[in-house]
Amino acid sequence: MTPRYTDMQLDALRELANIASGTAATSLSQMLGREVDLKVPKAFALPLADAVEAAGDPEEIVSGVALQLEGDLAGIVLLLISASGAATLCSLLGVEVDTEVGESALGEIGNILGASYLAALSSMTGLTMLPSTPMVVSDMLGSIVATVLAETVGHGDTALVLDSQLDITGEPCEISFLLLPNAGGANGLLAPLGLAEAAA
């Protein structure tokens, strides 16, 4: 069945994402020695096909860094980094983009952003989340997002996505940090906040 979320539940999820991505932005800023802008996150629950569109232009070539989550909250953390963003990040870290080292640097950024985001989320909800090692791929945004959604949404038909946008001040560098809980996973985030579970 399709879970439905109330506005209050989506607001609460957005606030969780806001605090968690604030922590992640601080870690990124420390790692790169640059100021990081954080936009107000979005939380959306959409049919599968619309969720891909909401994530961006499906034909844009981006770098995707995925961390699979296990523990109290199953799901996937996905970073989508624009091509210019990948080049900027690699240059700030002193490695060449589109090389094995460059790829591993992007994976490391995924690790650090993911770890700090999840630590903040964990301290707010009491949930334990264990991220896998990062998987890095460069391809069409649509292919990356659809593959991740097939995994997290599975037989459900609503995709829940918490989308935080991090930008490096003064650089052409856009990073989307997406948390995609598995079907039913949002209940685990909402329950500790005293909000009723999503209606099945």
Q: Which of 52, 160, 180, 189 binds other proteins (CB under 8 A)?
A: 52
- Part in contact with other proteins (CB under 8 A); list of ranges 97-105, 113-121, 138-146, 161-169: 138-146
Q: Which of 6, 99, 128, 132 binds other proteins (CB under 8 A)?
A: 132
- Part in contact with other proteins (CB under 8 A); list of ranges 19-27, 95-103, 122-130, 141-149: 141-149
What is each CA distance from 7 to 12, 16, 139, 178, in whole angstroms? 9, 14, 34, 19
- Would you say 26 or 147 has its CB closer to other proteins? 147
Closest CA to 142 of 66, 50, 23: 50
Q: Which of 92, 157, 187, 193 binds other proteins (CB under 8 A)?
A: 157
Which position has the token pair 């209940």?
A: 187
Residue 31 has a CB neighbour count (10 Å cut-off) of 17
Note the residue count of the chain: 200
> Is 160 among the residues that bind other proteins (CB under 8 A)?
no
The whole-angstrom separation of Cα 134 and Cα 128 is 18
Strand, coil or helix: what is 50? Answer: helix
DSSP 138-160: EEEHHHHHHHHHHHHHTT-SEEE
Q: Are 125 and 188 in contact (CB under 8 A)?
A: yes
Q: Which of 89, 144, 173, 180 binds other proteins (CB under 8 A)?
A: 144
> Is 46 among the residues that bind other proteins (CB under 8 A)?
no
Print the binding letters for residues 66-85 with other proteins: x by CB under 8 A, - otherwise.
Answer: x-x-----------------
> Is 21 among the residues that bind other proteins (CB under 8 A)?
no
Smallest gap from residue 193 Cβ to other proteins (A): 29
> Is 149 among the residues that bind other proteins (CB under 8 A)?
yes
Amino acid (1-letter code) at residue 65: V
Q: Which residues bind other proteins (CB under 8 A)?
A: 48-49, 52, 58-59, 61, 64, 66, 68, 132-133, 135, 137-147, 149-151, 154-155, 157
